[in-house]
Chain A
Amino acid sequence: MKLQEREEPLADSARSANTTLALSYRNSLLDVVRKAGTIAEWEARKIRHDATDLVTRAVQPLLWLIVFGETFSRIHAIPTGTDSYLSYLAPGILAQSVLFISIFAGIAIIWERDLGVIHKFLASPTPRVSLVIGKGLASGIRALPQAIVIYIVAILLGAKLQANPLCILGVLVLAVLGAACFSTFSLIIACLLKTRDRVMGIGQVLTMPLFFASNAIYPISIMPNWLQVVARINPLTYVVDALRTLMLTSTTDYSSLGLDFAVILGVTAVLVAIGAWLYPRIVQ
């Protein structure tokens, strides 16, 4: 077996490695994307071996639709315009499922730190930003099956949702983006707090306001003014707004999608940059 590269004097090897370095800078963007894909592939392979986790995770959002949605549809207390409350709620619950599956991603990061997996990743020539994006995409992969189940069940319950393939594709892209955004946020928390219990605690504290101070289950307009401000800086609001625009059959104006996607992409990019900077700290 070939165990080693051809032996060269150090100077030569340094020179050839410098050439390699120059090449890798030229290809660095491609390298970042490819290796982020490899990290996501790792997660996809895990799911392929054992998908029970995904099934159990889809139960909670379905209960929200069925128990909460069916009840609140009958109260007619929430102004949702021409849409039924269930139609209005479905995108909110889809966004909620994306939030809940990704906001605890940091706990898995700490688990991997304890197992030494992250040490191996960090000792490999994988760009840090790829490790972080890859983890975000992995959360996105986990969010997809849930999103599909919620979409179908909501239609079965009588929600008026789009069948247009472009809109559905947009919904799936948003699910992945949203999951990447919130799981990277969770990764940052994990890098700062470093223990499972603390990340779990903070995650629980954050989920409640992220969800209720958003337009997921009622319009922002019924909130007090100060809470409206909070809702407008909450990224989940933009995920829900984009999902609602794409999912509801009653949508006539798609112009808000631009701002929604810009906010989600912008927030995710900033979080990824912070995450890539903090990630090596988790092993220290």
Chain B
Amino acid sequence: MTAIIEVSHLVKQFGEHRAVNDVSFTVERGEVFGLLGPNGAGKSTTIKMLTTLLSPTSGQARVNGFDIVHQTTAVRHSIGYVPQALSADGNLTGFENLLIFAKLYDVPRSTRKARVNEVLDYVGLTDASRQLVRNYSGGMIRRLEVAQSLLHQPRVLFLDEPTVGLDPVARQAIWDHLLQLKADSEMTIFLTTHSMEEADSLCSRIGIMHRGEIAAIGTPDELKATVGGENPTLNDVFVHYAGDALESGGSYRETSRARRTARRLG
């Protein structure tokens, strides 16, 4: 196995607040790696640095062998990214949304339309592809975004809270698609979540993030073993490492964003 994401002493400081504090870890090729933690733990900041949206204050990281600060174009070609908010444009059809991104990702003209139709088919949106996205359900928009992130055959797929705000059926559908993706390809999947259930059902390895640091890292079983007790669940692990954070809840900004997503879903 070779490392496809290498993070070394990564720090991000916002004014007085150290959102990510000296984080180091590696993700192997083909893994589904989950960054689990309460709101405000630094997961989104970490994913934003790895996807080149934010520059780190200090430390290094490489994605697919490329430096996230000095080789941004190569990193961007290597990754697919599904942001936290449902971001597909409601005023365009599903097909058009993907067509625009196929152009931005340099999918050659000769194969562009075929490729768009292929990924639409993969997520089961062929029939809805000519409808305006504003008529899609939240789950359909999420699937469209997963399809969009696959257009250019990325090495690493980043998903920031992929099922937040989705109803249980839509959430299960996204999980099924991601597990299918894992089965069909060697693609590395990196996701953030605050759902234990999500981490347990999808991830081959989990990093628990707490107050900007990695509190624990390992396979779900390894993590459960560290806590001890009888049949510990991932929930016990989470409480063990980040228990005090559950009480305080998320910041106002996180809450309002979750609400906005929920509103958009109707």
Contact = CB atoms under 8 A, between A and B. Distances in A.
A142 to B, nearest CB: 13
Interface of B: 2, 48, 51-54, 64-66, 71, 73-74, 76-79, 81, 83-87, 89, 91-92, 96, 100-101, 103-106, 118-119, 121-122, 132, 148, 150, 153-155, 158, 181, 184-187, 260
A123 B79 CA distance: 8
A76 interface: no
Given A1-B119, A50-B91, A125-B73, A115 B81 contact: no
Contacts of B83: 116, 119-120, 123
Given A17-B78, A45-B100, 6 more contacts: A3-B181, A3-B187, A38-B103, A116-B84, A120-B101, A125-B77
B132 to A, nearest CB: 6
A115 B77 contact: no
Most buried by B among A1, A2, A125: A125
A21 B73 contact: yes
B92 A124 contact: no
Interface string A31-51: 000110010011001100110
Interface stretch (A7-15, A80-88, A143-151): A7-15
A68 interface: no
Given A14-B65, A20-B77, A119-B53, A124 B86 contact: no
Interface in A194-228: none
A116 B87 contact: yes
Interface in A16-31: 17-18, 20-21, 24
Contacts of B76: 123-125
A123 B52 contact: yes
A3 B122 CA distance: 10
B260 A125 contact: no
Contacts of B91: 46, 49-50
6 contacts: A14-B65, A42-B100, A45-B96, A119-B53, A119-B87, A125-B104
A123 B83 CA distance: 10
A116 B187 contact: no
A4 interface: yes
Contacts of B64: 10, 13
A140 to B, nearest CB: 18
A24 B81 contact: no
A122 B52 CA distance: 8
A79 interface: no
Contacts of B53: 119, 122-123, 280, 283-284
Contacts of B78: 17
Nearest to B92: A45
A123 B152 CA distance: 13
Nearest to B145: A120
A1 B89 contact: no
A116 B74 contact: no
A125 B186 contact: no
B260 to A, nearest CB: 7
Contacts of A234: none
A53 to B, nearest CB: 10
Nearest to B80: A123
B53 to A, nearest CB: 5
A277 interface: no
Contacts of A21: 71, 73-74
Contacts of A120: 81, 83, 87, 101, 148
Contact of B105 (A20, A42, A49, A124): A124
A159 B115 CA distance: 53
Contacts of B158: 123
